[in-house]
Amino acid sequence: MKLFCCLLALLATIALASPALAESKISFRQLTRTYPVAVQRGSTATVEVSSNFTLNDSHAVFFAPAGPEMQLAETELKPDEWKDPEESDIGTAFHFRVQIPEQQPPGVYEYRIATNQSVSSVAHLVVTDHPVVVEAEGNNDTPANAQAVSIPAAVCGAIERFEDVDYYQIRGEAGQDLVCQIFAQRVTRAIHCMAIRYPKIHLMDSMLTLLDSNGRVIAQNDNFIGGDALLRCKLPTTGEYVLEVRDARYAGDPRYVYCVEVGVPALAGKAARNPAKAGTPTTQTISLPSHVTGQFTEPKQKHYYRFVARKDNYYQFEVQSQRLGFAVDSVLSVFDINGKQLATGDDGHFTKDAKLFFQAPEEGTYAVAVRDLNGRSGDRFQYQLSAEPSGPDFEIHGEYYYGMLAPGGQAIWFVKLKRLNGFDGPVEMDVEGLPKGVSFTPVTIPPGMSHCGLIFTAAQDAPINASLVRVSGRAKLPRAGGQILDVVRHANVTAEIRRAGASRFWRAPIKTQLLGVTKPLDLTKVTASPAELTLRRGSKAEITVRIERSSEYTDQVLLDMAFSFFSTKFGEQLPPGVTISSASDTKLTGDDLEATIVLEATPTALTVDRLPITALARVPITYSIMTNYASNPIYLSIEAE
């Protein structure tokens, strides 16, 4: 059964010997596979990047962290054959040349691609210390056919189909300390439409097994960092060994790419680079602010840290363990001097690392307790605890994964403001690192409101270019003793991922926000009037929206004031109490180019002064994916009756 979650192929064909024809239904480039998925630092290599939308005319690649460089290596345009893809389609492969500086730290790097027509989703590449060995063509599916590998090596392959198992032969010495670490989930977690077998099988759940020459299991590991395996052992004898790589469920797909680092003499990854652990007392007194480290050495262990708090003051406690490559699934609790639990906190933002805000009811001594959710212990159950005074605060979330706009056009992103500890002040939004020729409409989220739109405009003469940008918010935060902090909070960024069917949206934390100026899009212009709109509480007002279409796009256009999917709003910009009236025209079909949106305000709508908003014109790409276009800014004022 076909699932609707994959992007439909575009409808034009690009001929190798002729200029590219215009596209229609233009959306972001959905990267599906990077192969091989690792490059040794200090080297230059060619990798294949596959995409369900063409990567012809790619002009820039951005990495986070910065350092690696990557350029399109194709010498001719590739055909762009449009069809309704099956769930397992990975699109067309494009060759890119990658250069890794000698001093580039090893690890997993996020990257994005910009083309003349669009920007891409997120993909990942491993920078490794070891020589890269690519899985050879042919059959390495049995121990007898194992591919010989000299260690150390970064072995790159793919579990391409169900029941696929890859074997690699290595030679080791008696007493040798061998470590094999796989990067699989960590390099595919942001890939769209990974419903390998609906509804439960998505990312690769890797398993590593080391066999001796007689087929006996020497070491095996399933989950170490998330679903990625890592095994470590001392080799019992000198001789030949076989490393088995597979999915724990025997699942497979061409997108199940992996890199196995073989021969590392110590635990690989971030965990090995963290500071050595401190002592692990049962109870310890700390002064705030404080940062302490600990390790659970016995099952069901709980560590207490005493601190002095002042009445009504806020305090913040946060654990880092899994984000550092360790294994603690932390839980935080605060107790008073009599042992009564007053507050508890579990998972943080897309992490099992706990976070907790606590407001002291009285002045006195309290204790914050750290434990593992399942009472586990051992070498990997280390953590770092930060404890510090806090107060009214905020976090920035929202929809700003990617954006595209043509010269003379607009785009919009959406901010969701999470207000903490009673904070209700204004937050001034900012976007750093805009592409050339792009401006940002200043906006401040007023008290009583927790969202806004970020409106971008490209000048008529803006060149085709793209850049990684950074959304942030600035506010003045009150603290104890009348102190006022002027703080900037950077946005938490997530990628929108569709996995288990068209209407089920998932999110994955990422590092980058990509905005690009492109060639003309499906809609060449969206205009809204009036540019200044005053709406009284309890009344209505009209906005006239007019679109201009590319000659290649003739399908429907949906009008909205929010980033909606059926009844769910993923991004909003109107003040509380202001909605779109049912009398609005929200669909343009055929030759219709103009419609009216009616806004209505309740008698208790939030009053605002010249809040910038925009009308959205949305082009459906598939059942669940749309490209958002925006009008010129409209400055909305809501007045009391």
Q: What domains does the chain contain, in order, with CATH numbers?
A: 31-128 (2.60.40.10), 132-269 (2.60.120.380), 283-390 (2.60.120.380), 392-519 (2.60.40), 520-641 (2.60.40.3450)
Of 562, 561, 544, 529, nearest in space to 635 by CA: 529
Q: Which two tokens stand for residue 168?
A: 């690699």
- The mean pLDDT value for 310-314 works out to 96
Residue 129 has pLDDT above 50, yes or no: yes
Residue 444 has pLDDT above 70, yes or no: yes
Residue 15 has pLDDT above 80, yes or no: no
List C-alpha distances in Å: 56 to 12, 80, 322, 426: 13, 9, 39, 44
pLDDT tens for residues 26-35?
888 989 999 9
pLDDT of residue 82: 54
The pair phi, psi for residue 186, each rounded to 5°, is -65, -20
Q: Given pLDDT bands bounded at 50, 70 and 90, which one contains residue 22?
A: low
Residues of 182-218 as b/e, b for ≥16 C-beta within 10 angstroms? bbbbbbbbbbbbbbbeeeebbbbbbbbbbbbeeeeeb
Of all residues in the chain, the percent with pLDDT exceeding 70 is: 90
The pair phi, psi for residue 324, each rounded to 5°, is -100, 5
pLDDT of residue 567: 80
Q: Given pLDDT bands bounded at 50, 70 and 90, which one contains residue 205?
A: very high
pLDDT of residue 12: 32
Residue 280 has pLDDT above 60, yes or no: no
Residue 308 has pLDDT above 80, yes or no: yes
Q: Which two tokens stand for residue 236?
A: 């019992």
Query: Which carries the bigger pLDDT value, residue 192 or residue 313?
Result: 313
**Residue 9: CA atoms inside 13 Å, Cβ hemisphere, count?**
17
Q: Given pLDDT bands bounded at 50, 70 and 90, which one contains residue 17?
A: very low
- The mean pLDDT value for 593-619 works out to 97
* pLDDT, the chain, mean: 90
Query: Which carries the bigger pLDDT value, residue 196 or residue 19?
Result: 196
pLDDT of residue 153: 97
Residue 5 has pLDDT above 50, yes or no: no
CB 231 within 8 A of CB 208: yes
Of 619, 616, 617, 507, nearest in space to 554 by CA: 619
pLDDT tens for residues 334-381?
999 999 999 999 999 999 999 999 999 999 999 999 999 999 999 999
CB 177 within 8 A of CB 171: no
Residue 504 has pLDDT above 90, yes or no: no
- The mean pLDDT value for 19-44 works out to 86
Conformational region of residue 328, where left means phi above 0, alpha means psi within -120 to 50, and beta covers everything else: beta
CA 560 to CA 252: how far, in whole Å? 40
pLDDT tens for residues 48-95?
999 988 999 999 999 999 999 999 999 999 987 655 555 667 889 999
Q: Given pLDDT bands bounded at 50, 70 and 90, which one contains residue 13?
A: very low
Query: Which carries the bigger pLDDT value, residue 505 or residue 431?
Result: 431
- The mean pLDDT value for 408-414 works out to 97
CA 82 to CA 13: how far, in whole Å? 7
- The mean pLDDT value for 395-402 works out to 95
Of 394, 581, 562, nearest in space to 491 by CA: 394
pLDDT of residue 621: 80
**Range 162-166, long-range pairs (CB < 8 A, 24+ positions):** 162/250, 162/251, 162/252, 163/250, 163/252, 164/246, 164/252, 165/141, 165/244, 165/245, 165/246, 165/250, 166/135, 166/140, 166/141, 166/244, 166/245, 166/246
